[in-house]
Amino acid sequence: QSTPSEPPTHPSSEPPLSRATTATAAASDVAGPNDAATKLAEAIDDFLGDLEKKFKGISDEILTKRELTSEPRDLLVDLRAESFS
């Protein structure tokens, strides 16, 4: 005859379902910071990309204006040099 065995005992006082829920919550906590870090990195990349575009636009505008203002100056220098020749 077999004797009925006692139900398995758990080392902690929490039932197994609670421990599983706690483990799942801990896993989502671990995924959360990684997801947040990824979103932050993407936001920073977007910000730096926008900043780079604006800088390039301003830089191009400055160079264009510099070229436009240097042409009359160069013309004046040439005219002045010719008048002293």
This prediction has a pTM of 0.44
Domain ranges of the chain: 55-85
Tell me how many degrees the CA angle 38-42-44 measures, rounded to the nearest 5.
115
The whole-number pLDDT of residue 69 equals 85
Tell me how many degrees the CA angle 80-76-81 measures, rounded to the nearest 5.
25
Measured between alpha carbons, how far is 39 from 30 in angstroms, rounded to an integer?
15
84 DSSP assignment: T
pLDDT digits (tens, 9 = 90+) for 25-67: 555 555 567 899 999 999 999 999 999 999 999 999 999 998 8
14 DSSP assignment: S
| CB 10, CB 16: distance < 8 Å | yes
